[in-house]
Amino acid sequence: MTQPCFAVITLGSNSFNMLVAQEIDGRIEQIAKYKQKVRLAEGISADLSLSDVVAKRGLDCLAWFNSKLIEHGIPAERTRVLATATLRQISNKDDFCKLALTYLPVPVVIISGEQEAEFIFLGSGITDSADHAVLDIGGASTEIIIGNNHQIKHLVSLDFGSVQINRSYQADFKIITEQAYQTVKQQISLHINQQAPWLKQHLGLVCVGRSGAIQSVIEVMQAQNLGNKITDDILKRLNSQVIGQNWMTPEVEGLSLERQPTYCAALMQLTALIELLKFEHIALSKGALREGLLANWQRI
């Protein structure tokens, strides 16, 4: 039996996404997807408020999404709008959420880092009974989950992401250097030691993920015929290509203009994580947050 379409919208720190889906004979089928690089985390001020300019970027995207809801004939009661790290952090989140209702008449639900990690794991598609690490590097947070097809064993939402790394360090290291890599690695190590020391008890796992950071690196690898599994050796090769280049506009074979601004931050974070946690490799998962939300949208 075919049910009416529904939509799940996620307001990430880097991108806003909208998935339209339909339940057909008990299966969730994706009908359409829409995405815009809003880079919300760029607008966080020193007092943790979101700037008007960046907020307007996000609100304009919500207006566009609303036009797509109308186009697909999806009512408000069959639409979910979820926000992640940046809206968790900002001091004027209530103002943004209230204003958002005038652009898209569906309440914004801000989920916790732990909820985000759980949905990421549910969307990863792991069917193996062996433990895996599931990784999602967002714009302002990074989720790491340890588990298998039976259960989630540990999860954490760490306070760093690609846009946040750019904001913190690219002004000091406009040109990529070895020191920039070491600085980012030290910061990530500090986050792990403070927020998730238990990760050191799960070294050497296979890791999967489907965030923009992982996808950008694998796109470059595929363009250069380097396979589709991120390893320490592959990262060393890719890192050598950006040393001496501009942090925000590196020129690398296979790198799209859209992914340029966060590519170096992605490389730095993946390099630090694979060194600190000794991942066997990092590969693409079948899905992530949005897929987990789609499969469980009635719980939201």
pLDDT at residue 2 greater than cutoff 80: no
Percent of the chain with pLDDT over 90: 89
What is this structure's pTM?
0.90
Give the pLDDT confidence of 164-179 residue by residue, as tens digits.
Answer: 999 999 999 999 999 9
What is the Cα 269 distance to its own chain's centre? Answer: 13
Domain boundaries, given as residue ranges, for the chain: 6-110, 122-284
Distance between CA 209 and CA 134 in Å, rounded?
6
Structure tokens at 169: 């360090």
Q: What pLDDT score was predicted for residue 296?
A: 84
CATH class of 6-110: alpha beta
CB hemisphere CA count around 188 (13 angstroms): 32
Handedness of CA 182, 218, 248, 157 (dihedral sign): negative
Q: How many CB atoms lie within 10 A of CB 64?
A: 15
Q: Are 148 and 234 in contact (CB under 8 A)?
A: no
Contacts of 227 (CB under 8 A, 6+ apart): 221, 234
The domain defined by 122-284 carries CATH number 3.40.920.10? no
Please give the radius of gyration of the chain, using alpha carbons only, rounded to the nearest integer: 19
Q: Are 293 and 8 in contact (CB under 8 A)?
A: yes
Tallying the residues shown for the chain, one arrives at 300
Give the pLDDT confidence of 101-153 residue by residue, as tens digits.
Answer: 999 999 999 999 999 999 999 999 998 899 999 999 999 999 999 999 889 99
Distance between CA 124 and CA 122 in Å, rounded?
6
For residue 103, give the amino acid letter.
Answer: Y
pLDDT confidence bin for 297, thresholds 50/70/90: confident
pLDDT at residue 1 greater than cutoff 70: no
Contacts of 272 (CB under 8 A, 6+ apart): 181, 184, 185, 188, 189
Give the pLDDT confidence of 54-107 residue by residue, as tens digits.
Answer: 999 999 999 999 999 999 999 999 999 999 999 999 999 999 999 999 999 999
What per-residue string of b and e applies to 233-266 under the rule 16 or more CB within 10 Å gives b? ebbeebbebbeeeebeebebebbeeebbbbbbbb
Are 6-110 and 122-284 equal in CATH topology? yes
